[in-house]
Structure 1
Amino acid sequence: MTILDRGLPSPGVSPDPMVLLTPRSLDEALHLLTAEGAAVLGGGVGHTLRRHDRHRRDPTSSGSSPERDAISQTSSDPPHKRDATSLVSVGSLPELRTILWSGEHVTIGAGVRLGEIEADERLVRTWPIVTEAAGSVATGRIRRLVTLGGNVAAGDDSHDLPVALAAAGAVLTVRSVSSTRTLRIGEVNDLGGDELIQDVRLPIPSGRAGSAYEKFLSRGVWEYACVNVGAVVRLDDAGAARRLSLAVGSVTGGPVVIDLADLRGSVAGGVLIDEVARRAAASTRPYGDVKGSAEYKTRMIAEFSRRAMTGAVRRAEETPRSGGEST
């Protein structure tokens, strides 16, 4: 057991201690999470964020720094767990550190670091949208710390992995002492205080499939995305789209999956891509902030949706024809 300082206190204020718990197994971690005030600690980035945020809010603080800001932009703690009095460290548990391939799915443990996802050669081949999203987070140093589960569980609408995973149709396995259940990416804010994400499960693409991730930073690498988009497509041998999926982030409370069902069967070309971009812009209601006005973001949503879908179609077209693609 380790006692941590919960934050940098104001002058004359005693530090507020926090207990760090280091379970040896997933089952032990789940039991520890049943205690009042317990919260999950993955790679430790979210806890560091809170310490730096307190420092910045202190009138005597020396201010922020680029590295501090980068950490702030990769917070891994959901809002309902930010008043924790103890942290259950799960980022190194073997049960959460695997990437497993089965017949139709790949299952990525919640403790796998984004840097590991970015570099996994089989994931690069099968789900480039996921590896591109992982590789776009902050810097390499940060990606070696941030866990997949932490990036998803934060429930932040501008985080990278939730957008890519929503477009890919990923499912979360969520565990507590008493239950195991599945959630979609957009349901992550339904996590209970005694639950954690065990893994993320993705279907293994078949046929002429392609995916791509695009992210627009209006100011620089140290900030949240202004707009981020993930696209997935599967083509038949005639070049018609048999699957289309597009998710947009940084616009509202979570990834927005655009309804493209009626476009199935359309030829995957410029006309289809333009329509996907138009629908993405029309289906989202971005908020204005320091990164851009709502009108500006709407234009960027259309542009980066076009880029993402173009990239996904190009990759699908590069896949050899099968001689008979089913719908």
Structure 2
Amino acid sequence: MRTFTYSAPATVDDAVAALSAAGPGAKFLAGGTTLYDLMKLGVEQPSTLVDVSRLAELATIAAGDDELVIGAGARMADVAADAVLRRDYPVLAESLWRAASQQLRNMATVAGNLLQRTRCPYFRETMFPCNKRDPGSGCAARGGVDRGQAVLGTSDACVATFPGDFPVALLALDAVVDVLSPRGERTVPIAGLHVEPGDTPQREHTLAPDELILRIRVPAPPAGRGSTYLKVRDRESYAFALAAAAVAVTIGPGGVVGECRIALGGVATRPWRAAEAERVVAGRRLTAETTREAGEAALAGARPGNDNGFKIELARRTVAEALRVAGERAAR
């Protein structure tokens, strides 16, 4: 690990100023569960760490009539255990408590979870070429072991899967994030935060290097909405998704679907909104046939590699089952 400088400002404004003054190579430090890991591997080599983990103003959780507001520094475990989230936003709570281990959830922050980097082994092992880590060097995952890689949103330059769960649930609920930089504050929709790799896989999101996430805001749920986060993985805990679905629906008279939101995890290079699948079920009853059609629509355009073609059928079934569970909850 290379040497670096460290500071722990007392306020958000001081933190943003400190990062700006430190110049290129400076990074914010929150829970550290991803950054420290990558520093030890030599993938991340920051010149300066600006610690925001102790800023109480970033750690709040507040539910109002119009929206839920989660501070960027709130710990995943605390947010998952919040009574309001468990009652009104189960898709969010489930996406958090199904992520990582309890020890990591006690440390990791929700904003850090939004920006965590891929678990692609070729990205994490510096002996292999990786366009995400070293632009222009190539993609060892193409032609390599790609069982865990993405089948949606891939490019010739990168097939790395986005690893997070919470951002997928936030995408299904049309959440936004407020960010701060020396230029002031702005709001970014979750739908516009992450980007597909294209020809520039080293660019993973639309934030500037000097922007700090302040809070996440989620619109209040409509009456009668049911939601769930279904995650399928090799083992029940401490494993990343092979396929996941965040679903939120409302059910009207006659069991007909009103509002429907579907997002996918574990199968794409970014949190993936399945808009066509939403249109498939809108105005229809959630029968086995309908949910199956939605699953097929959600995976339209998937491009499997050598070893991950099974993810397509797995994700179709995951979408169908998540729709069934969310529909049952909405109908109660």
Tell me the TM-score range normalised by the shorter chain: 0.7 to 0.9
Task: Please give the TM-score of this superposition, normalised by the length of structure 2.
Answer: 0.78
2:30 is matched with which residue?
42
Aligned counterpart, 2:13: 27
Q: What residue number does 1:246 align with?
A: 262
1:278 maps to 2:296: yes
Partner residue in 2 for 1:264: 282
Corresponding residue for residue 102 of structure 2: 140
Structure 2 residue aligned with 1:68: none
Q: Is the 8 A contact 1:151 1:159 kept in 2?
A: yes
Which has the larger displacement, 268-277 or 124-133? Answer: 268-277
Out of 223, 226, 237, the position equivalent to 2:239 is 223
Pairing 1:314–2:319 present: no
SS in 1 for 2:227: strand
- Following the alignment from structure 2 to structure 1, what is the Cα–Cα distance between the partners of residues 249 and 9? 41
TM-score calculated relative to the size of structure 1 = 0.79
Distance 1:287 1:251, change over 3 A: farther
- Give distance in 2, aligned partners of 1:245 and 1:206: 12
CA–CA separation in structure 2 for the residues paired with 1:175 and 1:276: 38
- Distance verdict in 2 for CA 1:284–1:53, change over 3 Å: same
Q: CA, structure 1 residues 262+51, in 2 after alignment: closer, same or farther (shift >3 Å)?
A: closer
Helix, strand or coil: the match of 1:300?
helix
Alignment partner for residue 169 of structure 1, among 174, 187, 208? 174
Distance 1:208 1:287 in 2: 40
Conserved? CA contact 1:252–1:285, under 8 Å: no
Cα displacement string for residues 255-296 of structure 1 (whole angstroms, at most 9, x for unaligned residues): 1111123542112333321221121222444555xxxx3320
| Whole-angstrom CA distance in 2 between matches of 1:140 and 1:20 | 27
1:118 counterpart (69, 80, 86): 80
Q: Distance in 2 between matches of 1:243 and 1:149?
A: 27
Equivalent pairs: percent with the same residue? 28
**Gaps (5+ residues) in structure 2?**
119-161, 195-204
Q: 1:175 deviation in Å? A: 1.3
Residues 1:108 and 2:94 are matched in the alignment: no
Instruction: Give the deviation of 1:310 after TM superposition.
Output: 1.2
Q: CA RMSD in A?
A: 1.9
Alpha-carbon contact 2:280-2:290 (below 8 Å) kept: no
2:245·2:262 contact (CA, 8 Å) conserved in 1? yes
1:87 and 2:73 aligned:
no
Question: What amino acid sits opposite 1:268 in the alignment?
Answer: L
Q: Say if 1:107 and 1:200, in contact at 8 Å, map to a contact too.
A: yes
Residue 101 of structure 1 aligns with an amino acid whose one-letter code is: A
User: What is the CA distance between 1:230 and its match in structure 2?
Assistant: 0.7
Deviates more, 1:262-271 or 1:164-173: 262-271
Letter in 2 for 1:252: A
CA distance in structure 2 between the partners assigned to 1:184 and 1:287 by the alignment: 31
Name the residue aligned to 1:182: 187
Q: How many matched pairs? A: 274
Give the Å deviation of 1:52.
4.0
- Say if 2:31 and 2:107, in contact at 8 Å, map to a contact too: yes
- What residue number does 2:165 align with? 160
Question: What secondary structure, in the 3-state scheme, does the structure 2 residue paired with 1:198 have?
Answer: strand
Corresponding letter in the other structure for 1:301: A
**Counterpart-to-counterpart distance in 2, 1:272 and 1:47:** 42
